[in-house]
Structure 1
Amino acid sequence: MKDQDARQAVQAAIRLVAPDLEPEDLEGRARLRQDLEMDSLDFLRLVETIAQSTGVDIPERDYPAVATVDGLVSYLVNRG
């Protein structure tokens, strides 16, 4: 998966899970749980949404690697 495609998939998934977030909140270094204030259920819904839309499954052991917007994008680029 290309970087631009991965970034679009991540932004779309975040908008579905947290529709109140502003686009400028989705900067690359933004931490999903702390900065974007996603609780554990929101984070799990995000991971499921990403898996459904991209076909890339993110196992629990890889959650630290996808803790930021850029981390999630990079994960998809490397595995998608």
Structure 2
Amino acid sequence: MNRTDALDMVRESLSSVVPGADVAALEPGDAFRDALEMDSLDFLSFVEVLSERSGVRIEDEDAPRLTTLSGSADFLVAHTS
């Protein structure tokens, strides 16, 4: 998976968890939990959706790396190559 595909997948996953969220306005380094007013349940749902869509197993200890578009995309690229 390349970085562009990974970013798209992260945005799509966020959109499915937070319908109506303006994910296009997010910058790669923005902490999207704050920007999209996601609570911990929303974040867990995002991690689950991202895992299902990407086919990548995401462990609890990986969650801190998944708080920005950039971090999430980097994680996916690293685990799908």
Scaled by the length of structure 1, the TM-score of the pair is 0.90
Q: 2:39 maps to what in 1?
A: 39
Distance 2:68 2:8 in 1: 15
* 1:22-64 Cα distance to aligned partner (Å, 9 max, x none): 1333221111222221111100110110111110121111111
Aligned ranges for residues 1-80 of structure 1 at < 5 Å?
A: 1-80=1-80
Q: What is the number of equivalent residue pairs in this alignment?
A: 80
Q: Which amino acid aligns with 2:16?
A: L
Contact 1:30 1:36 in 2 (8 A): no
What SS does structure 2 have at the residue aligned with 1:71?
helix
**Higher helix content, 1 or 2:** 2
Q: Which runs of 5+ in 2 are unaligned?
A: none
Distance 2:76 2:11 in 1: 12
Q: Which amino acid aligns with 2:36?
A: L
Backbone CA RMSD of aligned residues: 1.2
Scaled by the length of structure 2, the TM-score of the pair is 0.89
Q: Which consecutive segments of 4 or more residues in structure 1 shift more than 6 A? A: none
